[in-house]
Chain A
């Protein structure tokens, strides 16, 4: 156990501690003096910052939308793949592909598709969609949609494979029994399959966390590095690394911590429950 703990905690402890410390100072590349301790001033500033609340809202919304879509698509694909049939192996590989394919390139594919460069033949068409979406829902809505679509595409592949593994774990007799006891396929899904899959779904949600809150590379690429719509991650990155206002960036990224802790504890409660039974036994 020691090597792993040393690796993970050792590599992460210093950066996280640094981030916390910096968020309590006025460290910035704009000032020439040494960083001074300012207490919670950076956080206090966040509370009154309209941009911050907007970004927080977008981040949570982004997480909710993508995770819900990933779960629904993942369950649908997993159910489709769970039953034997012709061509299943090939479709299985096709479903596996989005996750296996390096995200750095497939993101370019999506970028060209959804936000094409001006010079392509279909850019007028896509531009039309972009402006109608932005017009109806406000500037940045299309960027939000494209980032979410990419995230869903890649994440649902992972979720589908993961949930397929979960479906395989359920004894077939249970399904046969359910077939006798329930009236419709929907009822069966609701009463039998979903509850049995719950720990897997919770774990999948947990794993999708990182892509929503932390992995800003997709957002960065798909919006061409512009802050078209604010997510806390990109805002923090922009402030901290592009603008050199390290302290404010750090405070912004750390502001997510309470939310993350709460959500992680909740999810642990769902997918790691057997632990308690073990101890009781």
Chain B
């Protein structure tokens, strides 16, 4: 018995290392001076410096490194832009996704099975290959160089799965719940807002977190659709930086920007799992 417990502890440790190591590795590199980056041990940092991090906030004073003048980055603005884009993506996705999911899962218009499947199938459409036509569309909509472009694209990337998840939940939710609310005198929209929506909280968390993860993961689309330096998100801005010169600063930047995302994820992780479970089994 004791051996089995030890084996389990060991497995847990391996699992934790497996998840943590690359992020640890990146963080270690971002704390290094250029000298240590070249000559030091790759696995730890002997002489940590926050140089790469402070450089992000240096503003107009462009630092000089050797013969190279490093252009300053409006990092604070980028973080702000990222926050706008991510928040808007999550809100738009949920606002558009919840009614769709409710309609598909509960009201069931004719052919709903196929509508639902078609919507999920669009998840496999490769956005990265469709650059050119998507760009044409964005320009036609007058959204080039604006946050709207990214919000629109990210939303279409996350919606298929979110609608699927939410509609699975609404499909399994016992009808009696709304019926009893209606008996109590609530109007149908009110019954939905006051009773059904709060019940699906965990599923909403799951859908929201999925959207956040999907949108935060992208850097390719961001660097293509946002060219104005003051409109860029963190991913876009750092993605186009000269990687060979600036890589440590870039990593420091994203590391820093990922902290709020990671806190959100850690905070909602339980709800995420519960939400997926709830969606797949029953409306409880």
A positions within 8 Å CB-CB of B: 1-5, 7-9, 11-12, 14-19, 77, 80-81, 83, 85, 87-88, 90-106, 108-110, 112-113, 116, 119-122, 153, 157, 161-162, 164-166, 168-169, 199-200, 206-207, 209-210, 213-217, 220, 233, 236-237, 240-241, 246, 249, 253, 260, 264, 268, 272, 275, 279
The CB with the most chain B CB atoms within 10 A, among A80, A91, A95, A237, is that of A91
Q: Are A15 and B137 in contact (CB under 8 A)?
A: yes
In the complex, which residues of chain A have a beta carbon less than 8 angstroms from the beta carbon of B216? 102
- Given the known A-B contacts A91-B16, A113-B25, A210-B126, are A8 and B153 also in contact in the complex, defined by CB atoms under 8 Å? no
Q: What is the minimal beta-carbon distance from B212 to any residue of chain A, in angstroms? A: 8
- Given the known A-B contacts A161-B273, A164-B273, are A237 and B26 also in contact in the complex, defined by CB atoms under 8 Å? no
Give the number of chain B interface residues (Cβ < 8 Å).
87
Q: What is the minimal beta-carbon distance from B127 to any residue of chain A, in angstroms? A: 7
**Cα(A12)–Cα(B277), bound, Å:** 30
**Cα(A7)–Cα(B277), bound, Å:** 27
Q: Are A4 and B96 in contact (CB under 8 A)?
A: yes
Which one of B15, B38, B115, B265 contacts A80 once the chains associate, using CB atoms below 8 Å? B15
Binds A, one of B45-53, B68-76, B182-190, B253-261: B253-261
A-B contact pairs, 16 of them (CB 8 A): A7-B152, A8-B122, A9-B122, A90-B16, A93-B269, A97-B20, A102-B217, A102-B257, A103-B219, A105-B26, A108-B26, A109-B23, A113-B42, A161-B272, A161-B273, A213-B124
The CB with the most chain A CB atoms within 10 A, among B103, B109, B130, B266, is that of B130
Chain A binding surface SS class? helix
Is B235 at the interface (CB under 8 A from chain A)?
yes
Binds A, one of B58-66, B155-163, B173-181, B192-200: B155-163
Q: Are A165 and B273 in contact (CB under 8 A)?
A: yes
- Given the known A-B contacts A102-B258, A241-B131, are A93 and B22 also in contact in the complex, defined by CB atoms under 8 Å? no
**Given A104-B219, A279-B113, 6 further pairs, Cβ under 8 A:** A102-B217, A105-B258, A106-B22, A106-B26, A113-B22, A120-B37
**Cα(A77)–Cα(B12), bound, Å:** 9
In the complex, which residues of chain A have a beta carbon less than 8 angstroms from the beta carbon of B20? 94, 97
Q: Are B160 and A109 in contact (CB under 8 A)?
A: no
* Interchain residue pairs A-B with the least CB separation, the first 7: A214-B126, A4-B100, A15-B133, A165-B276, A109-B26, A104-B219, A18-B133
Residue of A nearest to B107 (CB): A1
**Cα(A16)–Cα(B133), bound, Å:** 8
Residue of A nearest to B141 (CB): A11
Q: Are A214 and B269 in contact (CB under 8 A)?
A: no
- Given the known A-B contacts A11-B137, A97-B20, are A216 and B129 also in contact in the complex, defined by CB atoms under 8 Å? yes
**Cα(A237)–Cα(B129), bound, Å:** 6
In the complex, which residues of chain B have a beta carbon less than 8 angstroms from the beta carbon of A101? 23, 258, 261-262
In the complex, which residues of chain B have a beta carbon less than 8 angstroms from the beta carbon of A104? 217-219, 235, 238-239, 254
Which one of A3, A113, A260, A264 contacts B100 once the chains associate, using CB atoms below 8 Å? A3
Residue of B nearest to A119 (CB): B38
B positions within 8 Å CB-CB of A: 8-9, 11-12, 15-20, 22-23, 25-26, 29, 37-42, 95-97, 99-100, 103-104, 109, 113, 115, 117, 119-134, 136-137, 152-153, 155-156, 159-161, 163, 213, 216-220, 235, 238-239, 247, 250-251, 254-255, 257-258, 261-262, 265-266, 269, 272-277, 280-281
Q: Are A237 and B269 in contact (CB under 8 A)?
A: no
Q: Are B161 and A106 in contact (CB under 8 A)?
A: no
Q: Are A200 and B12 in contact (CB under 8 A)?
A: no
**Cα(A93)–Cα(B247), bound, Å:** 27
Q: Are B277 and A165 in contact (CB under 8 A)?
A: yes
The CB with the most chain B CB atoms within 10 A, among A92, A101, A112, A246, is that of A101
Q: What is the minimal beta-carbon distance from A226 to any residue of chain B, in angstroms? A: 14
Q: Are B276 and A15 in contact (CB under 8 A)?
A: no
Q: Are A272 and B247 in contact (CB under 8 A)?
A: no
**Cα(A181)–Cα(B132), bound, Å:** 58
**Cα(A85)–Cα(B16), bound, Å:** 14
Q: Are B19 and A95 in contact (CB under 8 A)?
A: yes
**Cα(A105)–Cα(B217), bound, Å:** 9
Q: Are A105 and B129 in contact (CB under 8 A)?
A: no
The CB with the most chain B CB atoms within 10 A, among A105, A165, A237, is that of A105
**Cα(A12)–Cα(B155), bound, Å:** 11
**Cα(A106)–Cα(B269), bound, Å:** 20
Residue of B nearest to A97 (CB): B19
